[in-house]
């Protein structure tokens, strides 16, 4: 019974500690926007060449690389009204394999800020030199209204904390079962008690207190 109580106490302590840690940790929000890289209409043959380049994914990768930089983030958010501080916003942009889509993700401590930054970058037209004359971008999906908590769901985190606490409690329960009980030797046997000393035999009635027969006195 004592083992069970100790193990239950360990489970409670571990879970409470994990729950407090999850509660006080800062919450981050992520928002995603998507753009499509498209060839521009011109009077020469560059659109055909541009379409071929998009098919190979070269220009899409280039856009994804440029849009994910801090310089693009700062330039895109500088045009927002009212101004926002996006210096702590983490931005990543990745090409969607086999398409001309670039997915832009912004992670911030504020849900609305993450959405604003993602949309600002999606609407930004970076200068890619010669590529800019043949390509442009179109917003496919806006980040407005699709912000969510970044990382794993809080429910999953608490469930994981509970599972970890139960595992630790089970290990403690097993470990306590392997320890010798109080007063027992490691082998599980109680120590031998020293043999009790037998009381001295009383003097025979035929002898006196001195042990000499009464007839010889």
The DSSP output letter for 211 is S
Q: What percent of the chain has pLDDT over 90?
A: 22
The rounded distance, in Å, linking the Cα atoms of 114 and 104 is 11
Domain count, the chain: 2
Looking at residue 190, its pLDDT comes to 54
As a whole number, the mean pLDDT across the chain is 76
Cα 178 to Cα 182: distance, rounded to the nearest angstrom: 12
28 Cβ neighbours under 8 A, 6+ residues apart: 107, 108, 109, 149, 150, 151
Could you list the residue range(s) of the whole structural domain that residue 97 is in? 29-149
Name, in order, each residue with C-beta under 8 angstroms of 202's C-beta and a sequence gap of 6 or more. Answer: none
Instruction: Report yes or no: 108 and 114 within 8 Å, Cβ to Cβ.
Output: yes
Q: Are residues 75 and 131 in the same domain?
A: yes
Residues 81, 14 share a domain: no
pLDDT for the residue numbered 183: 46
pLDDT computed for residue 173 by the predictor: 79
Residues 50 and 130 in one domain: yes
pLDDT digits (tens, 9 = 90+) for 55-79: 556 888 989 999 999 999 999 998 8
Same domain, 13 and 43: no
Q: How confident is the model at residue 50 (pLDDT cuts 50, 70, 90)?
A: low
Residues 45 and 131 in one domain: yes
Instruction: Render pLDDT for 92-116 as a digit per residue (tens, 0 to 9).
Output: 999 998 888 999 999 998 889 999 9
Over residues 128-172, the pLDDT tens digits come to 877 777 788 889 999 888 877 765 556 776 677 778 878 887 888
């Amino acid at each position: 019974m004592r083992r069970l109580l100790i193990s239950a106490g360990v489970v409670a302590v571990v879970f409470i500690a994990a729950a407090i840690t999850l509660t006080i940790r800062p919450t981050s929000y992520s928002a995603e926007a998507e753009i499509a890289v498209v060839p521009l209409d011109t009077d020469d043959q560059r659109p055909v060449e541009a379409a071929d380049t998009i098919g190979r994914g070269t220009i899409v990768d280039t856009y994804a690389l440029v849009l994910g930089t801090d310089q693009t983030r700062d330039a895109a958010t500088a045009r927002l009204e009212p101004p926002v501080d996006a210096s702590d916003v983490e931005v990543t942009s990745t090409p969607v394999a086999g398409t001309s889509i670039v997915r832009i993700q912004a992670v911030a401590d504020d849900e609305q800020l993450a959405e604003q930054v993602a949309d600002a970058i999606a609407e930004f037209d970076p200068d890619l030199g010669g590529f800019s004359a043949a390509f442009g971008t179109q917003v496919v999906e806006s980040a407005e209204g699709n912000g969510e908590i970044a990382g794993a769901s809080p429910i999953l985190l608490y469930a994981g904390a509970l599972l970890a606490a139960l595992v630790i409690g089970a290990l403690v329960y097993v470990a306590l079962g392997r320890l010798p009980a109080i007063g027992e030797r490691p082998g599980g046997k109680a120590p031998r008690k020293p043999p009790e000393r037998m009381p001295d035999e009383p003097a025979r009635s035929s002898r006196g207190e001195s042990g000499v027969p009464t007839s010889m006195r």
